[in-house]
Structure 1
């Protein structure tokens, strides 16, 4: 057996003899298993709940009686955001962004019913998921197991004895790294069990799962290198422990909590009330379809008359009120899209600043990588919102077109007792409306979105390895 293997075996033997370390390791393994199983069960429950509510909403929409199409526009419909299987590993922003939307004409509503709004404030401090355990808890366990791997040898004077016996500095360091690497593999093994549960679910994508596995492997490897590096540089085990705990507190706890606040202060967002006021103001400037003297809609009316070659809206072959509804929806949706894009751009700048802070915090980098590959980051939420708005606009315009083509203008404007019945169309029209079908991203899209975080972790690991290599040359010189 070579020197590296002997040193690694000796280090592992010392860890096993440490009763506190063994108990802590066992508790972490148990915690990771519980996190994997509970997160998977929670995800399954959420998926079934949302699927059931979606089916009920579609059934309620289809079950409407004969009525005027514009009433259906205001009746609206609920849709629910489906989550991919990888959300069981890392739910990302789903708990904060909401999971359902009410779609109706003339309005673009926001997503509602996020878990944070319905649960204890403890949800804000991190859900018990495999991602949370690997990001926060696992590095702390590695620190307590490995802070003295080299500092202890220096304190006891055994480092010089090893060097005198012909063991090279490089072999000593590689042996210590190997011992901690074995521990890291055992720590990550329960999370991989969770991955196996996810892999059997419909819609699981191999490429994003591989990226996540590689990302967390690099993250734990980085912590191993940092631990050995600090232990090599510190003169005493106590100093190494204090330094490593301070690094963990800043990198894994403080920076990820402060980064969103810094980004929010640097790029403030309009709240919902401010956005609604701004949209209403712009709508008044754009045009009022209820005002016959409004310049925009007066010009629209004339363009419609010219298109059909008539002089009165009563002579049109279609219902002018339906055409008016289509034009009004086109204008309002254009405003909604403009303000939504402005909000998306601001949030993208915020996320860009957070990711930039990830250059000094690998915990932010691995979190960004994990959420991007799982499809539970802001980009995933935006993808849902954009598809929901496209579906809402299409649904409303289909209903407006039904009013234009299936309801006559004379009936639509009549006031006699039987007019209300004549304005209605058959309920089979609602059943022919397409249901919302969320289109999930391809595996290549998710994997590509995770590449920046992966690159940051690689850069961190290369830099830390370089520093460890330089420190190895001076090991035992003092």
Structure 2
């Protein structure tokens, strides 16, 4: 027990420290990326479209308790014109494969290791009393079966609380840095205690039902292995089979094929963009693009970006839909595994779940599109069409096609808005209900064990 308490304390301290370092590093990197973009010299706006910028997902205040999917999804997006990139720098890709077995975080200690401790401490609580004749002595002194079992369960629950105390203290400290998160932190703590209390009840009940302490140990280790290890991984694998997600390479090939069908804005004879040019000429009552009251090349770039962005959005929505379907299937299977339910709840509360990551991708893409279209608008209205046409062969025209460096400061910085606490609390209701069902089932099993013990007596 002392070892697990120490491990829980180490997990709380190291996870908090790692998240603080990550928070500072990401904030500094985002500031550096924004500053580098704004510090660019005067140049042609389309060069800035290709120069691009970065969107970096910040660390939430409760991420130290449960980093969630961060290790696997990536946290950095390169934003540039004409394409939508994937998030990079996920710890699972940048570190050894051991990270996939679980990071040493407070959530991992409470959700995976603490139940195993309860199994080893409590499997013989009632069974060994029966084998050694202790139950007969207790009954002779007037103790009922329910009192004996309840006392054993209470003792095991106290052990669970002691093991959880350092992790929950770390959670409280994290919430203290962001008072708006206090309610969420309290829910996460309450759910964790309900989860461990359920294990204390189940361990005691199985110990009372088993004929021998050895049989109780085997049954409980099997239960822990199935519900905590096998079912979560099996549920993820099954979700991937039922709702397969296309790989990045496959998606890139499909996008490139669709882009070719959309048309090529760099080809003056392309049917779609030829029709776009003709529509503008009719709208402004001129016969040549040189006579338009703006730079046609900038307008063409803006139209091309609009088309490609809509295509990217369709593929992103398809991918997000598949991932949400996978998650929904895993949620259904969490009725059979309280470990899935408590992990889902803690990730939702810490804003480190899949939906938060998808929100980051959506907001980063919206920022990318806004940034590129602002630059295309500058190209359209601030660069002379004549200079733009001659800038590759005329040094003076090339110089005049550059716009002032101050223009880049007109584009706002990227700022990610995580789901607010009210939305997260609402999302946590479903997994919390499943945890309460688990607690109710554990209590029912304990009552059954007490009745059977009473009959045996």
TM over 0.5: yes
> How big is the shift at 1:304?
1.7
> How big is the shift at 1:476?
4.3
> How big is the shift at 1:356?
2.0
- Contact kept, 8 Å, 2:172 with 2:185, in 1: the verdict is no
> How big is the shift at 1:325?
0.8
Correspondence for 1:343? 319
2:72 is equivalent to residue 96 of structure 1? yes
> How big is the shift at 1:82?
0.1
> How big is the shift at 1:203?
6.9
SS of 1:434's partner is coil
Aligned with residue 248 of structure 2, among 263, 268, 272: 272
- Contact kept, 8 Å, 1:84 with 1:203, in 2: the verdict is no
Where does 1:343-422 land on structure 2 (aligned, <5 Å)? Answer: 343-414=319-390, 415-422=393-400
- Contact kept, 8 Å, 2:180 with 2:421, in 1: the verdict is no
Correspondence for 2:284? 308
Residues 429-459 of structure 1: per-residue CA shift (max 9 Å, x gap) = 0122111011122101112222221111111
Correspondence for 1:137? 113
2:91 is equivalent to residue 115 of structure 1? yes
SS of 1:270's partner is coil
Please report the RMSD computed on the Cα atoms of aligned residues, expressed in angstroms.
1.4
- Contact kept, 8 Å, 1:263 with 1:351, in 2: the verdict is yes
TM-score (norm 2): 0.96
Correspondence for 1:240? 216
Correspondence for 1:423? 401
- Contact kept, 8 Å, 1:159 with 1:476, in 2: the verdict is no
Correspondence for 2:428? 450
Where does 1:117-196 land on structure 2 (aligned, <5 Å)? Answer: 117-196=93-172
Separation of aligned partners in 2, 1:274 and 1:408: 41
> How big is the shift at 1:347?
0.9
Correspondence for 2:413? 435
Residues 240-249 or 388-397, more deviating: 240-249
Separation of aligned partners in 2, 1:160 and 1:471: 16
- Aligned residues between the structures: 454
Separation of aligned partners in 2, 1:190 and 1:46: 22
- Contact kept, 8 Å, 1:67 with 1:425, in 2: the verdict is yes
> How big is the shift at 1:185?
1.2
Residues 64-73 or 285-294, more deviating: 285-294
Correspondence for 2:301? 325
- Which structure 1 segments of 5+ residues have no match? 1-24
Residues 296-332 of structure 1: per-residue CA shift (max 9 Å, x gap) = 2222222222332322211111111111111111100
Residues 4-35 of structure 1: per-residue CA shift (max 9 Å, x gap) = xxxxxxxxxxxxxxxxxxxxx11111100010
Residues 339-394 of structure 1: per-residue CA shift (max 9 Å, x gap) = 00111111111112222221211111111111111110111111110100000000
TM-score (norm 1): 0.92
- Contact kept, 8 Å, 1:86 with 1:204, in 2: the verdict is no
SS of 1:127's partner is coil
SS of 2:173's partner is helix
Residues 198-207 or 368-377, more deviating: 198-207
- Which structure 2 segments of 5+ residues have no match? none
Aligned with residue 208 of structure 1, among 173, 184, 187: 184
SS of 1:102's partner is strand
Correspondence for 1:75? 51
> How big is the shift at 1:112?
0.6
- Contact kept, 8 Å, 2:149 with 2:205, in 1: the verdict is no
